[in-house]
């Protein structure tokens, strides 16, 4: 087995053109068996992708930036509080110092709390490999098999002060994996909802974007909406988990959504 440490994206792309390479970024999600059976490991740590920077209205986060890097930089930006909150309750301090954004986005594991905020912010991914290009995160998640053998090199999203976000999660204890997360983003113009983005993760479909509720909120004043009613009819299916039965988690999700909507209405 050989470890490769490319120094440029060109070098990375060339290495990816050969089949059978295992991609290593932070490495925390790679089991020893996978490393043992790999003939080639491509270690991303030599690439200049550890940045978290703003260009115009868009934030760019390199794939090898750690969760800690993102918290440190975006923690100073008010509009990213939900994303930072999501990352702060992901894993533990020593793991957040090692887990990379690229690896988390590519694998989108259960503990990756920031799937909801990234979907609600319409995040885009830069991908290297056979499908070289920029893709919506939602498209990536819906077609993960298609991106096999590719590497996420950057995550980007926009900050818009007119959009308020809410994030919350449900877990048995503070250090436990989230059983589910809810993220709401509301853009308000002239006192009415211009755009709503509502995402639930941890459900049977991995994530659920509540498009019907989003459409129903458009053009409405927040004061005219009863959160208990708009989320009361929502059907989200959850599998039974250690944190509770599927039916219980569905009820918890509705409560968190209603609570989030209430919180955003108060902020406005």
Q: Would you count residue 57 as binding other proteins (CB under 8 A)?
A: no
Token digits for 158? 């926009």
Q: Would you count residue 28 as binding other proteins (CB under 8 A)?
A: yes
Q: Would you count residue 27 as binding other proteins (CB under 8 A)?
A: yes
Q: Would you count residue 174 as binding other proteins (CB under 8 A)?
A: yes
Q: Which stretch binds other proteins (CB under 8 A): 11-19, 26-34, 214-222, 257-265?
A: 26-34
Q: Rounded to an integer, what distance in angstroms lies between the CA atom of residue 134 and that of residue 267?
A: 34
Q: Rounded to an integer, what distance in angstroms lies between the CA atom of residue 20 and that of residue 41?
A: 9
Q: Would you count residue 8 as binding other proteins (CB under 8 A)?
A: no
Q: Would you count residue 70 as binding other proteins (CB under 8 A)?
A: no
Edge-to-edge strand ranges of the sheet holding 21-24: 2-4, 40-43, 21-24
Closer to other proteins by Cβ: residue 24 or 254: 24
Residue 206 to residues 112, 123, 128, 220, Cα–Cα distance (Å) = 11, 17, 24, 29
Q: Rounded to an integer, what distance in angstroms lies between the CA atom of residue 148 and that of residue 137?
A: 15
Q: Which stretch binds other proteins (CB under 8 A): 31-39, 48-56, 159-167, 188-196?
A: 31-39
Q: Which stretch binds other proteins (CB under 8 A): 43-51, 121-129, 180-188, 211-219?
A: 43-51
**Alpha-carbon dihedral 201, 202, 205, 209, rounded to 10 degrees:** -10
Q: Would you count residue 43 as binding other proteins (CB under 8 A)?
A: yes
**Nearest distance from residue 97's CB to other proteins, in Å?**
4
Residue 25 to residues 41, 124, 221, 256, Cα–Cα distance (Å) = 10, 19, 45, 33
**Interacting residues toward other proteins by CB under 8 A:** 1-3, 5, 24, 27-28, 30, 32, 35-36, 41, 43, 45-46, 68, 88, 91-95, 97-98, 174-175
């Amino acid at each position: 087995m050989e470890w490769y440490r490319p120094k440029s994206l060109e070098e990375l792309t060339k290495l990816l053109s050969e089949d059978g390479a295992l991609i290593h970024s932070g490495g925390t999600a790679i089991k020893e068996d996978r490393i043992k059976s790999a003939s080639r490991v491509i270690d991303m740590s030599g690439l200049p992708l550890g940045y978290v920077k703003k260009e115009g209205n868009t934030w760019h986060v390199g794939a090898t930036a750690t969760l800690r890097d993102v918290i440190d930089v975006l923690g100073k930006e008010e509009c990213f509080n939900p994303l930072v909150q999501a990352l702060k309750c992901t894993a533990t301090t020593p793991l957040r110092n090692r887990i990379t954004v690229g690896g988390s986005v590519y694998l989108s594991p259960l503990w990756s709390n920031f799937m909801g905020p990234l979907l609600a912010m319409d995040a885009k991914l830069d991908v290297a490999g056979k499908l070289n290009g920029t893709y919506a995160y939602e498209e990536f998640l819906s077609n993960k098999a298609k991106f096999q053998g590719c590497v996420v090199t950057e995550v980007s999203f926009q900050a818009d002060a007119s959009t308020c976000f809410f994030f919350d999660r449900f877990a048995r204890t503070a250090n436990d994996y989230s059983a589910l997360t809810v993220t709401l983003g509301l853009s308000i113009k002239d006192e009415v909802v211009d755009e709503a983005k509502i995402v639930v993760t941890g459900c049977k479909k991995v994530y659920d974007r509540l498009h019907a509720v989003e459409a129903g909120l458009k053009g409405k004043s927040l004061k005219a909406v009863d959160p208990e009613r708009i989320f009361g009819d929502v059907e989200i299916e959850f599998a039974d988990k250690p944190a509770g039965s599927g039916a219980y988690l569905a009820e918890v999700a509705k409560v968190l959504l209603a609570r989030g909507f209430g919180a955003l209405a108060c902020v406005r």
